[in-house]
Amino acid sequence: MIRINLYNYRYQQVHYKKLRLYFLITSAVILALLINIFIYVFYQVKIMYQETRNSFLNAHISMLNERLKPIKDFEARIDIINKHIELINSIENERDDMVAFFQKLNQITPQQIYFTNISWNESSVTFNGVSSSPVYLADFLDRLRAESGIFYDPVLKSNNAATGGNFNFLISSMIKENLVAESNAHEENQQD
């Protein structure tokens, strides 16, 4: 019987298997590195593209904001004006009869008439004052008579000549009960 020494052959086969295994591991590591590098480069390009797009969009948004700034300022002014209108309307709704009385009196009083005393109760008023001419006094009486607002039935009780060509007068008139409602209704009728 012949003995064959297979040690070298087996050693060589084991060595080739180790080399193949090392080659496969090295190839897998290199392939994984290449895939990771490719993915990294791909996402870096995507990030750069998105950053460029974001900067472009931000530039255009800032340009549009500059163009829209006058509109926003105008809208802010409209809001302020609306708030002022609401405030005026709330004040107008809360004002009392005294304010309505003096507001209406100011509207119908000629410039050359000066009051020295005004006595007012809920249903009547008495005007004491000075006029520079009877013409202005007659104009004031005509305005009281023609006024369909809060005054009605005015009566000239006295008209005396004073020093310096002036005339003292005393006028009494009736007043409607709800001055604010009457004044507002009359102003709305005039606007229509």
**Residue 63 included in any domain:** no
CA distance 176 to 156: 19
pLDDT score recorded for residue 142: 85
**Residue 3 included in any domain:** no
Tens of pLDDT along the chain (192 residues) come to: 566 666 677 788 888 999 999 999 999 999 999 999 999 999 999 999 999 999 999 999 999 989 989 988 999 999 999 999 998 888 777 666 677 778 888 888 888 888 889 888 778 889 998 888 888 888 888 888 876 667 788 888 888 877 777 888 888 888 877 654 555 555 555 555
CATH code for position 118: 3.30.1360.100
pLDDT score recorded for residue 189: 56
**Residue 10 included in any domain:** no
**Residue 188 included in any domain:** no
Count structural domains, the chain. Answer: 1
**Residue 39 included in any domain:** no
**Residue 68 included in any domain:** no
**Residue 124 included in any domain:** yes
pLDDT score recorded for residue 134: 83
What residue numbers bound the domain in which 165 lies?
Answer: 109-175
**Residue 183 included in any domain:** no
